[in-house]
């Protein structure tokens, strides 16, 4: 099979396309012929070596946390999926940038019927992150005011749609070229963070979903109500500021969850969610990862391993 291999930590130049042996599905796993593999910020954070203390990996490795595609083999004990099923999942911390991947069945669901397998490969990590942030961590209720930073990105674009589905009023931050897109996804108001400080436009917020970190995260305390929630998968919010503003700070890591992904697939098929993708052939992985590193753009980047 074709796979992107990393022999040393570094910049996108270390990503190499190679021919390697097919992986084999073990007990409770399936082999997937990958049609789409999402490119996420975690991929280049892992690639750089910045996370090797928390996520030790054996070199060489194949980056990529999520895929969609057809099941071509099932391991011992698998009854949940059969050969030919089209599945998607947040499969692991690595393994997705390839024409074939193995994944435990508990991390998979049938892909939405309304999405191609290519597009479905761009969904699991972002949709699970947005869903867990807004439902499990923030417990968003109807008519609550939710501010979403980096709303046009992979997680943000899912979060805007999920927050609207939950009945919230949604305020989004994005650069001007993404405002029409975010209105189309349902955002009630969009702030151009490049020309205006969001604190000048919004206050009394129930929940901030911070997808940027740093200064944006610190400035977000001042727009929250006392008793509000600052939820971030990027970094742990300051406890000092949380105490000063009477806000609950929440930092979390996304959990892979096939059952939750089945629910997300249903939301796509019922028309509550859509995804915007930019497709790169697997051979153009370096360009795709560089684009992700730029932190500009819309929706999610996805690799197509059928185009080399």
Ligand X SMILES: NC(=O)c1ccc[n+]([C@@H]2O[C@H](COP(=O)([O-])OP(=O)(O)OC[C@H]3O[C@@H](n4cnc5c(N)ncnc54)[C@H](OP(=O)(O)O)[C@@H]3O)[C@@H](O)[C@H]2O)c1
Name the helix (H) or strand (E) containing 72. strand 66-74
Name the residue nearer to ligand X (CB basis): 99 or 132: 132
Name the helix (H) or strand (E) containing 147. strand 145-148
Identify residues 277-296 at the interface with ligand X (CB under 6 A): 292, 295-296
Cβ distance 37 to 64 under 8 Å? yes
The structure tokens listed for 185 are 């996804």
Q: How far is the CB of 4 from ligand X (least distance, A)?
A: 19
Name the helix (H) or strand (E) containing 33. strand 29-39
**Three-class secondary structure of residue 293 per DSSP:** helix
Q: How far is the CB of 261 from ligand X (least distance, A)?
A: 14
Long-range pairs of 113-116 with CB within 8 A, sequence gap ≥ 24: 113/269, 114/268, 114/269, 114/271, 115/268, 115/275, 116/35, 116/36
Task: Print the binding letters for residues 243-262 with ligand X: x by CB under 6 A, - otherwise.
Answer: ----------xx--------
Per CB under 6 A, 170 contacts ligand X: no
User: Tokens 């796509």 identify what position?
Assistant: 268
Task: Print the binding letters for residues 108-147 with ligand X: x by CB under 6 A, - otherwise.
Answer: -----------------xx--x------------------
Q: In the set 152, 185, 231, 264, which binds ligand X (CB under 6 A)?
A: 152
Rounded distance, CA 219 to CA 200, Å?
Answer: 11
Identify residues 83-102 at the interface with ligand X (CB under 6 A): none
Per CB under 6 A, 161 contacts ligand X: no
Per CB under 6 A, 40 contacts ligand X: yes
Q: Report the residue number whose CB is nearest to ligand X.
A: 153
Residue numbers at the binding site for ligand X (CB under 6 A): 40-42, 125-126, 129, 149-150, 152-156, 173-175, 178, 193, 211-212, 216, 233-234, 253-254, 292, 295-298
């Amino acid at each position: 099979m074709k796979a992107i291999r990393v022999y040393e930590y570094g910049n996108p130049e270390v990503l190499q396309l190679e021919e390697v042996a097919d992986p084999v599905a073990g007990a409770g796993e399936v082999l997937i012929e990958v049609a789409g593999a999402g490119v996420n910020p975690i991929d280049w954070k892992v690639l750089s070596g910045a996370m090797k203390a928390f996520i030790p990996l054996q070199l060489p490795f194949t980056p990529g946390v999520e895929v969609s595609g057809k099941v071509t083999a099932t391991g011992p004990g698998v009854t949940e999926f059969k050969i030919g099923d089209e599945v998607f999942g947040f499969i692991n911390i690595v393994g997705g940038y390839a024409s074939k991947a193995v994944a435990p069945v508990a991390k998979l669901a049938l892909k939405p019927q309304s999405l191609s397998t290519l597009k479905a490969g761009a969904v699991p990590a972002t949709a699970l992150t947005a869903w867990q942030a807004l439902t499990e961590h923030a417990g968003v209720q109807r008519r609550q005011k939710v501010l979403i930073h980096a709303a046009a990105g992979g997680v943000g674009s899912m979060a805007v749609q999920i927050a609207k589905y939950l009945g919230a009023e949604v305020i989004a931050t994005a650069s001007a070229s993404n405002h029409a897109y975010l209105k189309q996804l349902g955002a009630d108001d969009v702030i151009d963070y490049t020309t205006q400080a969001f604190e000048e436009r919004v206050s009394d917020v129930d929940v901030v979903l911070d997808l940027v970190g740093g200064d944006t995260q610190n400035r977000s305390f001042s727009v929250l109500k006392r008793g509000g929630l600052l939820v971030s998968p990027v970094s742990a919010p300051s406890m000092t500021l949380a105490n000063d503003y009477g806000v609950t700070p929440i930092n979390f890591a996304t959990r892979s969850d096939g059952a939750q992904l089945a629910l997300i697939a249903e939301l796509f098929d019922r028309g509550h969610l859509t995804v915007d993708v930019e497709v790169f052939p697997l051979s153009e992985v370096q360009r795709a990862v560089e684009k992700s590193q730029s932190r500009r753009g819309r929706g999610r980047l996805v690799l197509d391993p059928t185009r080399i």
